[in-house]
């Protein structure tokens, strides 16, 4: 059976031919499309038609591959530096940029309602679908195939990233809270673990309306991780 044009287009742009088309078909299917076409309307059957579970797997696969590629390029970088660079590379911003460069919006199967509200241009849908595509490649061809695709798509980003130019989550959190007319966050070391030469710091970020903890091998890294967790929490609350 010949593959649909949207699958052929995806294969051409990512440079991978699927042996089992069902993987990429599901990866490119948004839940809005699945809900509109599910005959029974039962959630368990609808769930098998869209890509949300693939997004979950793709996120993990991507994180592992990026961690490996970063360690390969920066073997002497600290855990904190690697963590911040990884967060930057797997961020929604980077994923959206790559999805846009692939024109992934042309391949996604969307429901009519989502289509009318501009779903093809929504950063969250583009980023999530790209993660689902990574999962599809992994399921179809294994880790080596997924690694090859990720490396190809992220080459320019990895070549240009620098441990000293990682995202400043503390500044981002402060600017966000200021925009919402809330006071700046306060950071405090809540505990430490390990011997003096290999200390692990646990830092808490407290702001008006919440608190989150970060972990790192330096206080600065732990503060940055706490700020990142706070930003994630604020974004999650915004999406609800």
The per-residue b/e assignment along 168-193, b for 16 or more CB within 10 angstroms, e otherwise, is: ebbeebbebbeeeeeeebebeeeeee
Q: Are residues 104 and 130 in contact, defined by beta-carbon separation less than 8 angstroms? A: yes
d(CA 212, CA 11): 41
> Which is the catalytic residue, given 55, 128, 131, 140?
131
Spatial CA neighbour of 27 closest among 55, 65, 69: 55
d(CA 168, CA 174): 10
Give yes or no: 59 in active site: yes
d(CA 101, CA 84): 24
Q: How far apart are the first and last CA of the chain?
A: 41
Give yes or no: 213 in active site: no
d(CA 34, CA 123): 20
Q: Indicate the DSSP class of residue 233.
A: H
> Which is the catalytic residue, given 59, 81, 128, 204?
59
- Residues assigned a catalytic role: 59, 131
């Amino acid at each position: 059976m010949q593959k649909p044009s949207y699958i052929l287009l995806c294969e051409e742009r990512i440079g991978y031919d699927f042996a089992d088309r069902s993987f990429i078909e599901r990866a490119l299917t948004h839940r809005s499309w699945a809900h509109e076409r599910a005959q029974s309307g039962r959630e368990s059957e609808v769930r098998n038609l869209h890509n949300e579970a693939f997004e979950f797997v793709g996120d993990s696969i991507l994180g592992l591959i990026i961690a490996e590629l970063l360690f390969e390029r920066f073997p002497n970088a600290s855990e904190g530096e690697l963590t911040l660079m990884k967060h930057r590379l797997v961020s929604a911003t980077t994923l959206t940029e790559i999805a846009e460069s692939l024109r992934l919006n042309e391949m996604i199967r969307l429901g009519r309602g989502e289509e009318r509200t501009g779903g093809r241009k929504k950063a969250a849908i583009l980023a999530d679908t790209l993660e689902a595509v990574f999962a599809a490649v992994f399921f179809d061809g294994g880790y080596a195939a997924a690694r090859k695709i990720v490396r190809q798509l992220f080459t320019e980003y990895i070549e240009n990233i620098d441990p000293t130019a990682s995202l400043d989550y503390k500044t981002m959190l402060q600017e966000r809270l200021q925009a919402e007319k809330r006071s700046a966050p306060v950071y405090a070391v809540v505990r430490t673990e390990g011997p003096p030469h290999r200390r692990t710091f646990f830092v808490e970020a407290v702001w008006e309306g919440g608190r989150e903890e970060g972990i790192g091998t330096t206080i600065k890294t732990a503060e940055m991780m706490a700020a990142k967790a706070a930003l994630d929490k604020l974004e999650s609350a915004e999406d609800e």
